[in-house]
């Protein structure tokens, strides 16, 4: 399941140990129900209007990574998304003057602009930009929300866009500072500061694109490994094949089976 926001509801909390300056990356899955310029994730100065980092969407249905101070740095992802469909969004902030946005793993051009240095960042929010007058107008669903204190590489964003859970991105395990699956029953997996609900967020159906490796692992636990997965060899005892898959064989075969659209 995912969190559903109606334009007046959101989640917010203190910045705690989250990054207040680059390098950082924000990412999530979203399903928008309205064409608005609004926020998916934000790190903001709650006392000032114009100091924040924002991963958001624009009214023309495009993903954007925003940095705001006296200057306004807005980097677009290529293409656009469709309302009512799940998409993966990411914003990578290399420095206060360089950032890039990605949609479904496709990156836009790195945007460079000087004199963009947000100050006194103290709040993290999902579905809203919290400042003296909060702007909680995202209408839709959010899931697999994550923030890293590092600039993720394109191949890492590609894995996330394929459905990999942020906490399973082992190359960035130590820099994952906030993770909210927004899935019922997995609160123990959450990382980062506690977030307070404002309004009445609801629980909605999770994206079918998410957690595919979780599905594969569940299938492995539920039934014995099939001989079809043993393309790297089988276990033998006394020169007789037992039909058990080797670890290498089961992994390679499973990936091939799933890639071909087969049932694991």
Same domain, 142 and 238: no
Reference 137, options 72, 60, 56, 248; nearest CA is: 56
Which strand (E) or helix (H) includes residue 112?
strand 111-112
Which is nearest to 63 in space by CA: 27, 9, 95? Answer: 27
Give the tens place of pLDDT for each residue, 44-84.
Answer: 999 988 899 999 999 999 999 999 987 788 999 999 999 99
Question: Domain for residue 225, yes or no?
Answer: yes
Q: Specify whether the CB–CB gap between 126 and 195 falls below 8 A.
A: yes
- Domain-located, residue 68: yes
Please state the φ and ψ torsions of residue 213, each to the nearest 5 degrees.
Answer: -70, -25
Are 190 and 174 found together in one domain?
yes
The neighbouring-strand residues paired with 2 are 204
Q: Whole-model pTM above 0.85?
A: no
Task: Answer yes or no: is 264 within a domain.
Answer: no
The verdict on 132 and 249 lying in the same domain is no
Positions of the chain with pLDDT lower than 70, given as ranges: 1, 115, 183-189, 206-264
Residue 190 confidence (pLDDT): 80
Are residues 226 and 95 part of one domain? no
Q: Verify that 68 and 10 share a domain, yes or no.
A: yes
E strand spans, 158-237: 176-180, 196-198, 202-204, 234-237
Q: Please count the other Cβ atoms lying within 10 Å of the Cβ belonging to residue 248.
A: 12
Strand partners, 74: 66
Could you tell me if 115 and 72 lie in one domain? yes
Give me the domain span that covers residue 133: 2-207
Q: Which helix (H) or strand (E) holds 26?
A: strand 24-32
So what's the pLDDT on residue 57?
97
Instruction: For the chain, give the longest Cα–Cα distance.
Output: 74
Q: State both tokens at 217.
A: 């692992």
pLDDT confidence of residue 20: 92
**Pairwise CA distance, residues 16 & 83, whole Å:** 34
* Cα separation of the two ends of the chain: 23
Phi then psi for residue 181, to 5 deg, are: -65, -30
Tokens of 154: 């394109």
d(C-alpha 176, C-alpha 150), whole Å: 8
Enumerate the β-bridge partners of residue 203: 3
Residue 76, CA atoms < 13 Å, CB-side half-sphere: 10
Q: Which helix (H) or strand (E) segment is 251 a member of?
A: helix 247-259
Q: What is residue 234's predicted lDDT score, i.e. its pLDDT? A: 41
Could you please report the per-residue DSSP string of 50-110?
S-EEEEEEETTTEEEEEEESSSEEEEEPSS---TTS-EEEEEEEEETTEEEEEETTEE-PP
Write the pLDDT tens digit of every residue in 220-243: 444 333 333 333 444 333 444 444
Residue at which a domain ends, from 188, 207, 226: 207
Give the domain-ending residue among 173, 190, 207.
207
Q: Hey, is 220 helix, strand or coil?
A: helix
pLDDT for 55 equals 98
Give the torsion sign (CA, 115, 120, 122, 128).
negative
| 78 plus 22 within the same structural domain | yes
Tell me: do 125 and 247 sit in the same domain: no
CATH at residue 202:
2.60.120.200
């Amino acid at each position: 399941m995912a969190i559903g926001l109606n334009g007046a509801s959101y989640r917010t909390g203190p910045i705690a140990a989250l990054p207040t300056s680059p390098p950082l990356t924000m990412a999530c899955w979203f399903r928008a129900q309205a064409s608005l310029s609004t926020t998916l994730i934000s790190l903001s100065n709650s006392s000032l209007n114009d100091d924040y980092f924002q991963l958001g969407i624009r009214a023309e249905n495009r993903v954007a990574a925003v940095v705001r101070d006296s200057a306004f740095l807005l980097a677009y992802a290529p293409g656009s998304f469709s309302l009512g469909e799940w998409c993966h969004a990411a914003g990578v902030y290399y420095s206060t003057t360089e950032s890039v946005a990605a949609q479904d793993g496709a990156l836009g051009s790195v945007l460079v602009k000087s004199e963009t240095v947000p100050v006194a960042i103290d709040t993290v929010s999902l579905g809203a930009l919290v400042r003296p007058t909060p702007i909680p107008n995202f209408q839709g669903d959010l899931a697999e929300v994550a923030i890293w204190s590092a600039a993720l590489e394109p191949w890492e964003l590609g894995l996330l866009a394929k459905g990999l859970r942020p906490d399973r991105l082992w190359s960035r395990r130590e820099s994952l500072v906030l993770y909210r699956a927004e899935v019922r029953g997995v609160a123990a997996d959450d990382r980062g500061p506690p977030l307070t609900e404002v309004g009445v967020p609801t629980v909605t159906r999770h994206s079918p694109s998410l957690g595919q490796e979780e599905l594969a692992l569940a299938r492995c636990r539920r039934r014995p490994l099939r001989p079809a997965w043993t393309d790297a060899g089988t276990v033998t005892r006394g020169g007789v094949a037992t039909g058990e898959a080797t670890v290498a064989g089961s992994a390679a075969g499973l990936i091939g089976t799933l890639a071909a659209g087969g049932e694991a």
